[in-house]
C-alpha cells in the first residue's frame, strides 16, 4: 500500500539522515529508487526544485514525492514522516539535556564540538561563495555577473554593521538578491 | 500577540525565506529568535546547532522544535515546527500539481541564481557572528581553524568524509585534553 510505503520510507529518511540534506541525498536516493517512486533523472530534477524553493530540502523532497505518488494526503503523510523523528528526538533530548549538559565531561566535549562546527560553517560559506563565482568542480571558469552580485550583496550585508550599528535582516538580503538576480541575469 | 501565534508566525517567516539548507537558516534564527525576540541566548543557539548537526533530520526542524519547546513546552514545539514546515509544504504542493517545468521558468531561475549567492553570504555571516562570540583561547581557535581547513579540502575534492566524523574527532580531542588536565589536578587536590 502506497501510504504505508510513504510513511515507512520517509520515517527511514528522517531517522537516519545525519548532517543536513546534502549528506542525506544517498539515503534519500536509496529509499526513493528502491520503492520505484522516481527514476534517477526525476530525482535529480526534484532535488534541484527542492533547492530552489524555500524550506528544508528534505521536507520539500518528501512533500514532492508524496504528492506525486499519492496526492494531497500522500504529501501530508510523507512530510510528517520525515519531520517526526527529529521532532521526537529533540523533545526527548530537552527533557534529559538539562542535567546532562552541566556534566563536566559533556561540557568538555561541547567545548570541542562548538569551534568545530563554527569551522565547518565558515568552510561551507567560503566554499559556496567561491564556487558561485569560480565553479571549482565544473572547471568552466569564472562568472563576472556572479562576482558583481557577490560584492554588492556582501556590501549590503556587512557594511551597515560598523557604520549604522544595525544589521541587515537576512530576509531583506534574500529579497534583494532575488530582485538583483532577475535584473542582472535577465538582461542577457 | 499570544506567544503561540508569535512562534508560528516567526517560524513560518523563517521557513518562507530559508533557501539552501540548514546553515543559511542559522543566520535567520540568530536574527529573529536571539536578537529580536530574545527567546533564546546565543549560547543556546550554539547548543542547538551542535545538537541539530549530531542528530538526524533537517536542521531547521531541530531548531524549531528546540525554540518552541523552550518557550511553550510540547504545544510550543508543535506550533513552531508546523510553522517551519507549512510554507514550503504549500509551495511544493502547488508546484507538484501545477508546474511540470518549474525550473524552466526564466525569471524564477534567475531569481534563484541571485538567492544562491545570498545564501553563501548568510552562511559566512553566521560563521563570523559565531567566531566573534567564541571563547578567545588557543584551543578553540585551533580546532576551529583545523575544522575549517579540513572541511574546505573535503568540499573542494568532493571527499566522502562527513561533517559528523569531523565533529566526533573534535569532541574526542577536547575530552582527552580536559581529562589530561583534570586528572593531575584532582590527585593534587586529594593530597593537599
Residue numbers of the domain that contains B113 = 1-133
Per-residue pLDDT reduced to its tens digit, A81-108: 999 998 998 898 888 877 787 888 888 8
Please check whether residue A169 is in contact with residue B31, taking contact to mean a CB–CB distance below 8 angstroms: yes
pLDDT tier, A167 (very low <50, low <70, confident <90, very high otherwise): confident
Q: ipTM above 0.85?
A: no
pLDDT tier, A179 (very low <50, low <70, confident <90, very high otherwise): very high
Instruction: Give the per-residue pLDDT at A143.
Output: 82
Q: Please indicate, yes or no, whether residues B120 and B162 belong to a single structural domain of this protein.
A: no
Tell me the shortest Cα–Cα distance from B192 to chain A, in angstroms.
22
Tell me the shortest Cα–Cα distance from A102 to chain B, in angstroms.
12
Instruction: Give the per-residue pLDDT at B141.
Output: 92
Selection from B81, B80, B83 nearest residue B57 by Cα: B81
Please check whether residue A32 is in contact with residue A106, taking contact to mean a CB–CB distance below 8 angstroms: no
Chain A residues in contact with B43 by the CB 8 A cut-off are none
Q: Please indicate, yes or no, whether residues A142 and A109 belong to a single structural domain of this protein.
A: yes
Least confident of A8-12, A22-26, A180-184: A22-26
* % residues pLDDT > 70 (chain A): 93
Contact B171 A109 (CB under 8 A): yes
Q: Please indicate, yes or no, whether residues A92 and A11 belong to a single structural domain of this protein.
A: yes
Q: Please indicate, yes or no, whether residues B6 and B38 belong to a single structural domain of this protein.
A: yes
Q: Please indicate, yes or no, whether residues A24 and A92 belong to a single structural domain of this protein.
A: yes
Q: Is the dihedral of CA A46, A48, A53, A54 positive or negative?
A: positive
Contact A79 B85 (CB under 8 A): yes
Residue numbers of the domain that contains A78 = 2-100
Better pLDDT: B102 or A130: A130
Q: Please indicate, yes or no, whether residues B42 and B115 belong to a single structural domain of this protein.
A: yes
| Mean pLDDT score across all residues of chain A | 85
Q: Please indicate, yes or no, whether residues B106 and B190 belong to a single structural domain of this protein.
A: no
Q: Please indicate, yes or no, whether residues B69 and B114 belong to a single structural domain of this protein.
A: yes
3-state secondary structure of A36: coil
Tell me the shortest Cα–Cα distance from A29 to chain B, in angstroms.
15
Instruction: Give the per-residue pLDDT at A136.
Output: 63
Q: Please indicate, yes or no, whether residues A127 and A177 belong to a single structural domain of this protein.
A: yes
Better pLDDT: A37 or A51: A37
Please classify residue B103 by burial: count the beta carbons closer than 10 Å to its beta carbon, then call 0-12 exposed, 13-18 middle and 19+ buried: middle
Instruction: Give the per-residue pLDDT at B104.
Output: 78
Contact A20 B58 (CB under 8 A): yes
Instruction: Give the per-residue pLDDT at B90.
Output: 93
Chain A residues in contact with B97 by the CB 8 A cut-off are 67
Question: Which A residues, 95 through 134, put their C-beta within 8 Å of a C-beta on chain B?
Answer: 97, 101, 104-105, 108-129, 131-132
Q: Please indicate, yes or no, whether residues A7 and A95 belong to a single structural domain of this protein.
A: yes
Instruction: Give the per-residue pLDDT at A22.
Output: 64
Please classify residue B38 by burial: count the beta carbons closer than 10 Å to its beta carbon, then call 0-12 exposed, 13-18 middle and 19+ buried: exposed
DSSP string, chain A: -HHHHHHHHHHHHHHH--SHHHHHHHHHHHHHHHTTSS-HHHHHHHHHHHHHSSS-HHHHHHHHHHHHHHHHHHHHHHHHHHHHHHHHHHHHHHHHHHHHTTSHHHHHHHHHHHHHHHHHHHHHHHHHHHHHHH-TTT-----HHHHHHHHHHHHHHHSHHHHHS-PPPHHHHHHHHHHHHHHHHH--
Q: Is A78 on the interface with B (CB under 8 A)?
A: no
Please check whether residue B13 is in contact with residue A174, taking contact to mean a CB–CB distance below 8 angstroms: no
Q: Which of A34, A67, A100 is the last residue of a domain?
A: A100
3-state secondary structure of A56: coil
Cα–Cα distances in angstroms (integers) from residue B148 to residues A14, A49, A115, B176, in the given order: 27, 29, 9, 21
Instruction: Give the per-residue pLDDT at B161.
Output: 77
Please give the average per-residue pLDDT across A166-177, as a whole number.
85
Task: Give the separation between CA B107 and CA B164, rounded to whole angstroms.
Answer: 37
Q: Please indicate, yes or no, whether residues B149 and B114 belong to a single structural domain of this protein.
A: no
Q: In chain B, which residue ranges form alpha helices assigned H by DSSP?
A: 3-17, 22-29, 42-54, 59-98, 106-132, 138-156, 163-191
Query: Which among B28, B41, B57 is the top mutation candidate for probing chain A, defined by the most A β-carbons within 10 Å of its own β-carbon?
Result: B57
Instruction: Give the per-residue pLDDT at A21.
Output: 63
Select from A91, A112, A120 the Cβ nearest to the Cβ of B163. Answer: A120
Q: Is A176 on the interface with B (CB under 8 A)?
A: yes
Tell me the shortest Cα–Cα distance from A84 to chain B, in angstroms.
9
Q: Please indicate, yes or no, whether residues A119 and A146 belong to a single structural domain of this protein.
A: yes
Instruction: Give the per-residue pLDDT at B147.
Output: 92
Q: Reply yes or no on whether the pLDDT at A57 is more than 60.
A: yes
**HSE-up (13 A, CA, CB side) for residue B61:** 34
DSSP, res B40? S
Query: Residue B46's closest chain A neighbor by CA?
Result: A114
Instruction: Give the per-residue pLDDT at B149.
Output: 94
Q: Please indicate, yes or no, whether residues B171 and B101 belong to a single structural domain of this protein.
A: no
Question: Which B residues, 113 through 172, put their C-beta within 8 Å of a C-beta on chain A?
Answer: 113-128, 130-131, 134-135, 139-141, 143-152, 155-156, 158, 162-164, 166-167, 169-172
Please give the average per-residue pLDDT across A169-173, as a whole number.
86
Tell me the shortest Cα–Cα distance from A121 to chain B, in angstroms.
6
Instruction: Give the per-residue pLDDT at A137.
Output: 61
Tens-digit pLDDT string for chain B (192 aa): 788 999 999 999 988 988 877 788 888 888 888 888 889 888 888 888 888 877 877 888 888 999 999 889 999 999 999 999 999 899 989 888 887 777 778 888 888 888 888 888 988 988 898 898 888 888 889 999 999 999 899 888 877 777 778 888 998 999 999 988 877 766 554 443
Amino acid at each position: 500500500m502506497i501510504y504505508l510505503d510513504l510513511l515507512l520510507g520517509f520515517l527511514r529518511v528522517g531517522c537516519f539522515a545525519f548532517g543536513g540534506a546534502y549528506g542525506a541525498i544517498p539515503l534519500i536516493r536509496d529509499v526513493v529508487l528502491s520503492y520505484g517512486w522516481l527514476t534517477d533523472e526525476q530525482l535529480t530534477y526534484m532535488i534541484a526544485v527542492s533547492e530552489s524553493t524555500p524550506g528544508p530540502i528534505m521536507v520539500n523532497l518528501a512533500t514532492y514525492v508524496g504528492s506525486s505518488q499519492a496526492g494531497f494526503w500522500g504529501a501530508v503523510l510523507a512530510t510528517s514522516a520525515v519531520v517526526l523523528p527529529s521532532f521526537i528526538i529533540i523533545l526527548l533530548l530537552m527533557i534529559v539535556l538539562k542535567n546532562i549538559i552541566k556534566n563536566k565531561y559533556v561540557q568538555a566535549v561541547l567545548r570541542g564540538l562548538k569551534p568545530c562546527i563554527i569551522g565547518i560553517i565558515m568552510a561551507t560559506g567560503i566554499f559556496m561563495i567561491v564556487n558561485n563565482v569560480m565553479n571549482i568542480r565544473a572547471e568552466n571558469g569564472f562568472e563576472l555577473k556572479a562576482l558583481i552580485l557577490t560584492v554588492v550583496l556582501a556590501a549590503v550585508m556587512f557594511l551597515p554593521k560598523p557604520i549604522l550599528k544595525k544589521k541587515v535582516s537576512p530576509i531583506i538580503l534574500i529579497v534583494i538578491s532575488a530582485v538583483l538576480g532577475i535584473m542582472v541575469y535577465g538582461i542577457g | 500577540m499570544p506567544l503561540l501565534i508569535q512562534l508560528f508566525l516567526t517560524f513560518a517567516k523563517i521557513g518562507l525565506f530559508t533557501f539552501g539548507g540548514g546553515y543559511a537558516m542559522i543566520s535567520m534564527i540568530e536574527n529573529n529568535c536571539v536578537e529580536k525576540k530574545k527567546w533564546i541566548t546565543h549560547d543556546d543557539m550554539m547548543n542547538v546547532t551542535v545538537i541539530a548537526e549530531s542528530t538526524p533530520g533537517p536542521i531547521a526542524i531541530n531548531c524549531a522544535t528546540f525554540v518552541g519547546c523552550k518557550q511553550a513546552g510540547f504545544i510550543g514545539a508543535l506550533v513552531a515546527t508546523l510553522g517551519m514546515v507549512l510554507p514550503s509544504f504549500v509551495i511544493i504542493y502547488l508546484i507538484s500539481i501545477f508546474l511540470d517545468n518549474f525550473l524552466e521558468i526564466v525569471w524564477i531561475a534567475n531569481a534563484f541564481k541571485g538567492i544562491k549567492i545570498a545564501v553563501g553570504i548568510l552562511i559566512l555571516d553566521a560563521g563570523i557572528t559565531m567566531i566573534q562570540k567564541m571563547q578567545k583561547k588557543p584551543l578553540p581557535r585551533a580546532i576551529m581553524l583545523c575544522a575549517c581547513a579540513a572541511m574546505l579540502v573535503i568540499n573542494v575534492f568532493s571527499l566522502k568524509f562527513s561533517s559528523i566524523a569531523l565533529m566526533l574527532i573534535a569532541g574526542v580531542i577536547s575530552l582527552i585534553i580536559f581529562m589530561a588536565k583534570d586528572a593531575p589536578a584532582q590527585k593534587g587536590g586529594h593530597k593537599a
